[in-house]
Amino acid sequence: MPLDFVNRFAATPDNWGIVKVMERIEELSTRFGPKIPQIPQPGQDDFKTELQKNLIPYKNEKSDVPEIPKNDDLFAPGTFPNAEVPKATQFDQIISEAAKTYGVDENLVRAVIKAESNFNPSAVSPKGAMGLMQLMPGTADMLNVKNPYDPKDNVFGGVKYLRSMLDRFGGDTTSAIAAYNAGPKAVETYDGIPPYRETQDYVKRILGMLSPGS
């Protein structure tokens, strides 16, 4: 830096601020080299990951009950209202085999299928959940379900996941049902049914179908 340039700016107190800024630039250049590293901008996937990590329940403006935070890759709500579970369907043998294989009550499997798809193997939810037990793409991949629209593949995958939720919550059916809808972490966070209206209605719907006389 030319001496006369420094002297010119150092001549008066009014110019001291400029000199300080230039000294700071020199200091940063010395520490980091000729180019100060730039903070990388997160991509869309990074942003989504961070958002999911910090996602917390939010309140509906019309209600004090928080809505369920969505994880589009894993969980989806039941899509059909409460109704009587059919006593017999074309999927009886598949349901029976899957229930026996994983040690899950057949009636529970039927109730979940009724709530999720109304026994429609081609059902697709607005969020992309597929088939009889409405498996989200991420869940289907996790369960190694090759074709979510194939009744046997779908039901065996869904019942396997339901079994894992029953095991995770010590055989507690209510918690397992809630976890099937909202995810196990939400159930663990709230030590029971999460305070999401969607999940509360879902659990009530299925338990109602399982109760005597339904």
pLDDT of residue 198: 93
**CA atoms of 8 and 79, how far apart (whole Å):** 76
Provide the residue-wise pLDDT of the chain in tens; the chain has 214 residues.
Answer: 544 444 444 444 455 555 565 666 566 555 555 444 443 444 444 434 443 443 333 333 333 444 444 443 444 445 544 455 555 679 999 999 999 999 999 999 999 999 999 999 999 999 899 999 999 999 999 999 999 999 999 999 999 999 999 999 999 999 999 999 999 999 999 999 999 999 999 999 999 999 866 5
pLDDT digits (tens, 9 = 90+) for 7-26: 444 444 455 555 565 666 56
- Cα-based torsion angle of the residue sequence 184, 188, 193, 196 in order, rounded to the nearest 10 degrees: -80
Length of the chain: 214
pLDDT of residue 51: 36
Contacts of 151 (CB under 8 A, 6+ apart): 91, 94, 121, 131, 132
Q: Looking at the annotation, which residues are catalytic?
A: 116
Q: Angle, nearest 10°, between helix axes 106-117 and 173-182?
A: 30
pLDDT of residue 87: 59
**CA atoms of 11 and 17, how far apart (whole Å):** 12
Tokens for 36, please give them: 């100060």
pLDDT of residue 89: 77
CA 14 to chain CA mean position, Å = 58
**CA atoms of 32 and 35, how far apart (whole Å):** 7
Tokens for 14, please give them: 């009014």
pLDDT of residue 18: 56
Angle formed at CA 202 by CA 197 and CA 206, multiple of 5 degrees: 150
| 188-210 residues labelled b (16+ CB within 10 A) or e (exposed) | eeeeebbbbebbbbbbebbeebe
For 39-179, where are the E strands, in sequence order?
A: 58-59, 66-67
Tokens for 110, please give them: 């039927």
SS3 135: strand
pLDDT of residue 211: 85
